[in-house]
Amino acid sequence: MKLAIIGTGYVGLVTGTCLADSGNDVTCVDIDQAKIERLEQGDIPIYEPGLSELVVRNAAAGRLKFTTNTADAVRNARLVFIAVGTPMHEGGSATDAEKKGSADLKFVWKAAENFAPHLQPNAIVVTKSTVPPGTNAKLFALLQKLTGRTVDVASNPEFLKEGAAINDFQYRGRVVIGGRTKDAEEVISELYEPFLRTDKPLLVMTPESAELTKYVANALLSTKISFINEMANLCEKIGGDINDVRRGIGHDRRIGFAFLFPGVGYGGSCFPKDVRALAHLARHVGLDPLLLDSVDEVNSRQKHVLAHKIQEHFNGHLAGKHFALWGLAFKPKTDDVREAPALTLIDYLLERGSKIAVHDPEAMENVKAQYGDRIVYANSPLDALEGADALAINTEWGEFRNPDFVEMKQRMRSPVIFDGRNLYDAEHIRDHGFTYYSIGRTPVKPTDAPKP
């Protein structure tokens, strides 16, 4: 099948590549010329495990093309996927103030204006971007106005997660289609057939329900994270251990373990904006989204959890102190730093005159683009520790899990760790001579060790 993907970011590139890999003829479009030029040379602008090989292989086979020319991409496409960003509305101007927090659809409307004149008569437009309920209907009306005819519009929200996006796309748990016509349902079902061989469900519903499903999924996952973080903070106050509590509840099959790891709060391009957009939508229809507002507020506070521990440990004397930061990406196996908790900590420390050396296996370039030479970019986790007064861990990359504590201690000026991901066993690390703060557990100091 001939497909056009409008927007070649994390979702568009993965979608286009996986659909090319299942034998379709895919053209990915983007307005970012530099991005398209890199892709044409087989240089992948984002880090996503397994993506590079798949792009190169399918491009070489002629099934995957990249262009900035929307007309060329769309002209013969049976399906046109919209995968542009839908960021949070900033509500910048006075007339826009009430839109703050909602999903800003300006890229969706602009994309539609660009491709509408080039749609072939039986093309189906499919929104893969996360868009609020009602967008499908607005897009249907807009395309009718722009083309002077009826254009079929379906919703097909995407549930992949960065860091495991290829696997999530190819071995997906379900496909959700919000269709208006039998034709759209059948064509999109046919497209996904290779990915649903293991009897995974294809769920057909109204466009409004499909659009809402994506927000509800992200809001529920965010709720679990904020919930366990609030419980972790409670554990610290009463001397409990959140890891024990987590295990104590997780074995209950009604609860389970997924998304119940305490930490420094959720980040990324989806959860923060989607929770706020859903709350905005609820308010817009006259509801009071108490739970969603709290999930967001708990998360905003949790992103400061390490900063507050650091502040307290150093009695507020942070000017001139050296901090090593391990992990910048909002989660492991991605280079995405959008809304990453590490950035909250960097801002906090810089504002107080601290010096910062950071290491992340993949996200350094993206952070450098924002902070330039205001911080030091270390080549390895150990290099970041040179002369540090403390280490703060923000992302649970695999390579941070079993470090050489002896060498770490030698490199640091003072052996203090603020672990935002509970990577280590507290007693073990105390026995190596570290003072260790984690999330939802009692801090330990070398002097706490039992006397021999």
Q: Which residues bind ligand NAD (CB under 6 A)?
A: 6-12, 29-32, 35, 83-86, 107, 110-111, 114, 129-130, 158, 160-162, 269-270
CB of 218 to ligand NAD, least distance (A): 8
Query: DSSP states of 133-152 as a string?
Result: TTHHHHHHHHHHHHHSS--E
Residue 13: CB atoms within 10 A of its CB come to 27
CB of 16 to ligand NAD, least distance (A): 11
Complex with ligand NAD: residue 214 or 322, whichever CB lies closer: 214
Query: Which letter does DSSP use for residue 198 in this model?
Result: T
CB of 348 to ligand NAD, least distance (A): 26
Contact 80, 125 (CB under 8 A): yes
CB of 338 to ligand NAD, least distance (A): 8
Complex with ligand NAD: residue 241 or 335, whichever CB lies closer: 335
- Rounded CA separation 329/51 (Å): 18
Please, where are the H alpha helices in 64-134? Answer: 70-74, 106-115
Which residue lies nearest ligand NAD, judged by its C-beta?
A: 9
Residues in CB range of 225: below 8 A, 6 or more apart: 259, 260, 261, 263, 265, 266, 271, 299
Known catalytic residue: 235? no
The string over 80-106, giving b where at least 16 C-beta atoms fall within 10 Å of a residue's C-beta and e elsewhere, is bbbbbbbebbebeeeeeeebebbbbbe
Contact 323, 390 (CB under 8 A): yes
CB of 224 to ligand NAD, least distance (A): 17
∠11-379-377 over CA atoms, to 5°?
75
Contact 375, 359 (CB under 8 A): no
* Catalytic hit among 18, 28, 235, 270: 270
Complex with ligand NAD: residue 13 or 388, whichever CB lies closer: 13
Complex with ligand NAD: residue 110 or 445, whichever CB lies closer: 110
Beta-bridge partner residues of 392 = 325, 418
Residue at token pair 């079929």:
152
Complex with ligand NAD: residue 24 or 135, whichever CB lies closer: 135
CB of 210 to ligand NAD, least distance (A): 13
- Rounded CA separation 176/353 (Å): 49
CA dihedral (374, 375, 376, 378) positive or negative: negative
The catalytic residues are: 270
